[in-house]
Amino acid sequence: MSRTRIIENPHLLPEQTNPDLWAIVDELLLSKEERDIYIMRKNAVVLYFKGNALKNIQAQTGVHPKNLRRLVQRCISISDDGLVWGFRALIPQKKVKSYQLSLTSKKKNPSRKTGEFKLLLETFPTLQELIKDLFLGNHRRTLEPAMKPHHIHKKFIDECRSLGIPLNQYPFNTDHLGFKALQRYLSKLSCLYFGKGKSRYGKDAITKAKHTGEGEQNHPSTLHPYQKVQFDAHRIDGFFIIEVMTPEGDLVPVVLERFWILTLIDVATRAVLGYAISLNKEYSAIDVMHCFRNAVIPHEKVTIAIDGLKYNETGGFPSEVYPSSTAWAVWDVICFDNAKSHLANLVQDRLKHLIGCDINLGPVALPMRRGIIERFFKILEETGFHRLPNTTGSNPHDPRRTDPEEKALKYKMTFDHLKQLIDILISDYNGKPHGGIYHQTPLELLGKRLNAGLLPRQLEEELRKEVLFMQVTKSATIRGSLKSGKKPYIQYQGVEYRSDKLSQSAHLLNTELIIHMNVDDLRTIRTFLPDGSEFDYLTAVGKWSITPHSLQTRKAINSLVRRRLIYLTTWDDPIFIYTEYLRTNATNGKRGAANKFTQVKESAQKRKTVNEPEGQTDALEKAEERNAALAKAREHTQKEQATKEYAEYKDLMKLYKTKL
């Protein structure tokens, strides 16, 4: 070895020649003998890098120059993790490089096979590729989902034979044909390719490995209320019933399928801002917007009809407890996954143009990224639904699951009971101590932050209309004909929309209007001219303007009409016909009919809308008057027809001299 100082090598990295940048060693974990040796070596190396003479270093520490050069070389070598070994290389008996078998070495023991497996893979790279492909489930080699080690070993031996390896060489000259070495190598592969063996570890494990352990959890804590919120949905673990009236007038209990609860929670305070219940098999974009709407609009308590059930005095929703600061409050960032309902145009448009927040889309099927809301769902289940006799439990083998459908029927646990229970459970959750916020209640912490001046952003006064949360913008062409005398109208989803103003605007025929529609109530639409000026509110013709109905209900009715499963006349209320159709299917036990029946019933029982536009109210009132007048005219016509038929009947009887 050259006597030139090792640190004078120009090819060394700065972190290799600067002991201040090296990883340190906890000396207290070493035994007394090991500690003495380590400290002696460390002092010698430090003096070497300070430029002391080798003889002086030997005199002070007792480390021979030849041994010192070896220690320095160990310290500046690079470890498998890409870092300089540093002081870690000075620990007694520390291995800084893997074993390399030397066939020409005189020290080689023929009876030992240490290093033979590694040498075999280096000599035949195709063997290494084969083992990796089989272990990680590469379909180029095998279709077996997760090949076991002894099956991989059989393929390994077959490949060794095909490569022409003699029987007196490794692995054929061992008792187990290299199986133990292969097992150790597979164990290393599982760590080296962590999260890549989809077939071996499953999709869930792969997803977690790719997306957890880094990123969001290392960001600073969120302190400002409503700065960041998390949204997700959860299947309710329980069955509930509704009572459906048969054509004979009897009430029959029907079990609802399991449904969803959608929730929005504040990250800073853990307070639940709002929720919604979805009766759909898979919740939709409309259900998502229902949750957002309920979180922004001031919350109203549900009327409790269950004996002994009441709200906790310490609980409530933020908009109830702190109305001046959190009523109509909106958030800055929302976190949810890439589910289709979250990516819908309605959701994306309303979050951007109404709420004005940024969207943080996390990976699907990875609840760890939204751990706060997932923990809330677990608390909601364990303190609520899993304690009910109608619970389905957390899995099919849960001992708490004992005939949940029969229990729901036996105790008459209705959908109305569910709505009351959910509102109380969430209200009480906001008023109970939470371990994630140092055992403060979410409402208590929210109050502290608000008093400290951390006030959330509130929706502008002109935007505080409930209808805006469900609004979708489309374009439609004004139809009509001067030749046939058909007055101007707009058609949307198989229904014509008209107004007095539109009927008198024949000059706008074939003009494309911009329409704003509430997908939660399609009885009216608001129209604008191409230059952006408002035109008028249009109302659905006929009985479509009587009962509130959603876009989903309209599409379902149109589908049934096309398939000739239901029939509509001019005088029929389509929602009533559709409800009767669902009622019949529900009483006959058709799957999903009870949920749809309840959903349409809930939508038809339209509550008072917050800040409903006057133009919409006027349009609906005019439509109601027009329908009432048409119904009266029809009744009058039917009476006249009946009177005329009776008179003709009397004349006929007189003709044949029959006594009435």
Q: Among 26-35, 240-249, 260-269, 516-525, which stretch is predicted with the lowest mean pLDDT?
A: 240-249
Q: Give the model confidence (pLDDT) of 500-511 as tens digits.
A: 899 999 989 999
Note the Cα 124 to chain centre separation in Å.
47
Helices and strands in the chain, H and E counts: 22, 16
What's the whole-number mean pLDDT along residues 549-562? Answer: 90
Q: Give the model confidence (pLDDT) of 324-359 as tens digits.
A: 999 999 999 999 888 888 888 899 999 999 999 999
Residue 194 has pLDDT above 80, yes or no: no
Name the burial class of residue 71, with classes exposed (0-12), middle (13-18) and buried (19+) by CB atoms within 10 angstroms of its CB: middle
Among 234, 273, 227, 225, smallest CA distance to 437 is for 225
Q: What is the pLDDT of residue 216?
A: 47
Residue 108 has pLDDT above 60, yes or no: no
d(CA 611, CA 328): 13
Q: Is the pTM of this model over 0.85?
A: no
Helix%, strand%, coil% for the chain, nearest 5: 45, 15, 40
What's the whole-number mean pLDDT along residues 417-430? Answer: 93
d(CA 349, CA 361): 15
Q: Give the model confidence (pLDDT) of 242-279 as tens digits.
A: 877 766 666 778 888 888 999 999 999 999 999 999 98
Residue 571 has pLDDT above 80, yes or no: no
Q: What is the pLDDT of residue 218?
A: 46
Q: What is the pLDDT of residue 233?
A: 92
* Dihedral sign, Cα of residue 72, residue 75, residue 79, residue 83: negative
d(CA 524, CA 516): 9
Residue 389 confidence class, pLDDT cut points 50, 70, 90: confident
Secondary structure (DSSP) of 286-345: HHHHHHHHHHHSPP-PPPP-STT----TT---HHHHSHHHHTTEE-SEEEEE--TTTSSH
* β-bridge mates for residue 538, sequence order: 525
Q: What is the pLDDT of residue 513?
A: 92
What's the whole-number mean pLDDT along residues 214-226? Answer: 66
Q: Give the model confidence (pLDDT) of 45-60 as tens digits.
A: 999 988 888 889 999 9
For residue 575, how many other CB atoms are within 10 A of its CB?
21
Secondary structure (DSSP) of 603-636: HHSPPPPTT--HHHHHHHHHHHHHHHHHHHHHHH
Residue 612 has pLDDT above 90, yes or no: no
What's the whole-number mean pLDDT along residues 428-447? Answer: 92
Cβ–Cβ under 8 Å, residues 383 and 405: no
- Arithmetic mean of pLDDT over the chain: 83
Show the DSSP H helices in 486-612 as ranges. Answer: 500-503, 551-562, 574-587, 593-604
Q: Give the model confidence (pLDDT) of 203-217 as tens digits.
A: 655 555 555 555 444
What's the whole-number mean pLDDT along residues 367-382? Answer: 80
Q: What is the pLDDT of residue 478?
A: 93
Q: What structural domains and CATH numbers belong to the chain?
A: 6-90 (no CATH), 116-211 (no CATH), 225-463 (3.30.420.10), 466-617 (no CATH)
DSSP state of 435: G
d(CA 43, CA 60): 9
Q: C-alpha angle with apex 172: 170 to 174, nearest 5 degrees?
A: 80
Q: Give the model confidence (pLDDT) of 478-517 as tens digits.
A: 999 888 889 999 999 999 999 989 999 998 999 999 999 8
Q: Give the model confidence (pLDDT) of 443-475 as tens digits.
A: 999 999 999 999 999 999 888 888 889 888 999
Q: What is the pLDDT of residue 231?
A: 93
Cβ–Cβ under 8 Å, residues 36 and 98: no
What's the whole-number mean pLDDT along residues 223-249? Answer: 84
Q: Give the model confidence (pLDDT) of 68-83 as tens digits.
A: 989 998 998 888 777 8
Q: What is the pLDDT of residue 585?
A: 85
**Exposure string over 577-611, b if 16+ CB within 10 A, otherwise e:** bbbebbbebbbeeeeebbbbbbbbbebbeeeebee
d(CA 575, CA 600): 8
% of the chain surpassing 70 pLDDT: 82
Residue 569 has pLDDT above 50, yes or no: yes
Residue 225 confidence class, pLDDT cut points 50, 70, 90: very high
